[in-house]
Structure 1
Amino acid sequence: MSAPLPVAAPLRDPFTETLELTGARCALSCGLTAAGDWALAFPAPGRLKVQAVLQGVVWLVIEGVERPVRLGAGDIAVIAGDRRYILASDPAVPPVDVQPLIRARTGTFVHAGDEGQDTVTIGGHIDLNAAGRDLLLSAFPPLMHVGAATAEAPAACWLMDQTLREIQSGAPGAAFAAERLAQLLLVQVLRVFLTGADAGAYPAGWLRALADERIAPALRLMHGDPAHAWTLTELARAAAMSRTTFAQRFKETAGVPPLAYLRAWRIRLAQHALWQEDTSVSAIAASLGYRSESAFSNAFKRTTGLAPRRYREAVRAD
């Protein structure tokens, strides 16, 4: 009997891996019911904000965005963390501050306008760890609109609705289920970012780089074996481009040159290992392709401002 053929280990998925390193978590905050004429002003959330419309029509006005955006049932909006915004029945309605309504609520929902529920929305946010904020926040445009006709929108709206039901139910395991459902919601929303026709117009960063099919093979190589001393020639060959064309395209999409991206990715992996694992600094250095612990420590401190051991102490003390 012949021995089975060896099965090659799959290359690591850069999208999954980066989500894990950023500590990205999506959590629902509250819902909104409304009727008649109404408008609510929201402060800049300081993190990515998610709004889904389950029923009715909502107008979204975002600070710095020229035109209001109409959101219908099944639409989802992801709003950048540094932008104030307004939800309204009509952009012309003067807004009131939402904070007093949130503080006074007795349940999961706040209500605006007249009696009734012509409009129902659910709001949530995406939390990130310190190492991940610059990756996600810098990669997002002021607004990402996931239309109801998008392939991922029905699943995303169902996930938001189901998450809200879990929160309201108080059933055994509800908190655990709600957190997992919210994680799936985050994946659905980011997939729209990666596959949307507007991906090329988004800010340069890791998400836009993942959305670029031409440079994706090079990203998979770097993520699959970050310790390897990849050369520009090897990466360009994987992307089926000349060195010059590849380097230019990579910088346009990722925001940094290919080898700078690799160096930064190694540091992010090191940050995660120092935070989550008890592996020695020398072992981390070797696993990431550094020739010595001192070379790794110098590179790490240049990026983070702290030596590896001091960084480990600081993040574990938080």
Structure 2
Amino acid sequence: MGAGWTGGAPLALGVGDVLFMPRGADHYLVDSLDSAVTEMARPGEPREVAGAGVRTALLCGAYELGRRRSHPLLDELPEFIHLPARLGRHPALRGAVDLLAAEIAEPRPGSDAAVPALLEMLLLFILRAWFEERTHDRPTGWAGAFADPAVAAALRAVHEEPARAWTVPDLSDIAGVSRATLARRFTMTVGEPPLAYVTRWRMLTAARLLRDTDAALGAIARKVGYTSEFAFAKAFKREYGMAPGQYRRTDDQPPLIAV
């Protein structure tokens, strides 16, 4: 089977392959790379295309992300991530694909709960597999951050405790390297200094809490490290261009991220 898109080289897809499109890029599917495109269709209900070729089943899904502010890790992803099915490679991803396909092909009691959970796991395993692929050759960007034990340790600490009053010495102690070394390696891989990322992560966390919970602004401020609601609101507006309360009231129509 082949997949293609305007301005890009076609990809040959095999049984068990995963193709992830982080920004829902326009594309087409054909039964082989030398076949002409004869029918265009938009995502929707399951459908069957008749023909004389080999019967092929495609498992498709989509994820939604708010468009106002995304994590830099997602901004770094290419338009298409192709993960071929290879024996012994990425067993967790293979297992998630097989489980999801089984639940959809033969729904059973509990499938309604199993499928959304498996879709969330699938996204995690896709991203993990892609970063593992990138770490084989001089990893840069976020692949380099995850491959660097010191930077990865600092990131885990910030993610686990966004409310902590982090300093570079605190993070360098956790990372087990000097302050200068951590600052240099962190900035080189993540793309910004450690404390700038602390602020970014706090604001991303606050935005999620504003969107997904009805927690009071003061409680959210404390969860992301601000003792003053005023200071939190000022920092949030600097990042998002609007006050936290306005952000919560504004409808956010997220774009589809197709997989």
The bucket for the TM-score relative to the shorter chain is 0.7 to 0.9
In structure 1, the partner of 2:75 is 138
2:221 maps to 1:292 = no
2:21 maps to 1:84 = no
Q: Is the 8 A contact 1:64 1:83 kept in 2?
A: no
Which of residues 253, 260, 263 in structure 1 aligns to 2:199? 263
Q: Is the 8 A contact 1:236 1:246 kept in 2?
A: yes
Q: Distance in 2 between matches of 1:306 and 1:271?
A: 11
In structure 1, the partner of 2:95 is 155
The aligned runs of 1:226-305 (5 Å cut-off) are: 226-305=162-241
In structure 1, the partner of 2:249 is 313
Q: Provide the secondary structure at the position in 1 that maps to 2:61.
A: strand
Q: Distance in 2 between matches of 1:141 and 1:316?
A: 24
Give the CA RMSD over aligned residues: 3.2
In structure 2, the partner of 1:61 is 4
In structure 2, the partner of 1:10 is none
Q: Is the 8 A contact 1:209 1:250 kept in 2?
A: yes
- Specify the code of the residue in structure 1 equivalent to 2:155: L
Residues 248 and 212 (structure 1), Cα distance of their counterparts in 2 relative to 1, 3 Å cut: same
Q: Provide the secondary structure at the position in 2 that maps to 1:60.
A: strand
Residues 242 and 60 (structure 1), Cα distance of their counterparts in 2 relative to 1, 3 Å cut: farther
Residues 122 and 286 (structure 1), Cα distance of their counterparts in 2 relative to 1, 3 Å cut: closer
Q: What is the deviation of 1:177?
A: 2.8
Q: Distance in 2 between matches of 1:291 and 1:177?
A: 40
> CA deviation digits over 1:40-90, x for unaligned, max 9?
xxxxxxxxxxxxxxxxxx22324454x433221121111232532232333
Identity %: 31
2:41 maps to 1:99 = yes
- Specify the code of the residue in structure 1 equivalent to 2:2: W
Question: Normalising to structure 1: TM-score of the pair?
Answer: 0.66
Which of residues 48, 53, 60 in structure 2 aligns to 1:110? 48
In structure 2, the partner of 1:45 is none
2:104 maps to 1:164 = yes
Q: Is the 8 A contact 1:275 1:316 kept in 2?
A: no
Q: Provide the secondary structure at the position in 2 that maps to 1:279.
A: coil
Q: Distance in 1 between matches of 2:183 and 2:2?
A: 41
- Specify the code of the residue in structure 2 equivalent to 1:155: G
In structure 1, the partner of 2:160 is 224
Task: Give aligned pairs, total.
Answer: 251
Q: What is the deviation of 1:99?
A: 1.4
Which runs of 4 or more aligned residues in structure 1 lie more than 6 Å from their structure 2 counterparts after TM superposition?
199-203
In structure 1, the partner of 2:257 is none
Q: Distance in 1 between matches of 2:128 and 2:174?
A: 23
Residues 208 and 129 (structure 1), Cα distance of their counterparts in 2 relative to 1, 3 Å cut: farther
Q: Provide the secondary structure at the position in 2 that maps to 1:120.
A: coil
Q: What is the deviation of 1:136?
A: 5.9
Unaligned runs of 5+ in 1: 1-57
- Specify the code of the residue in structure 1 equivalent to 2:212: Q
Q: Distance in 1 between matches of 2:60 and 2:209?
A: 33
Q: Distance in 2 between matches of 1:82 and 1:154?
A: 22
2:112 maps to 1:175 = yes
Identify, as 1 or 2, the structure richer in strand.
1
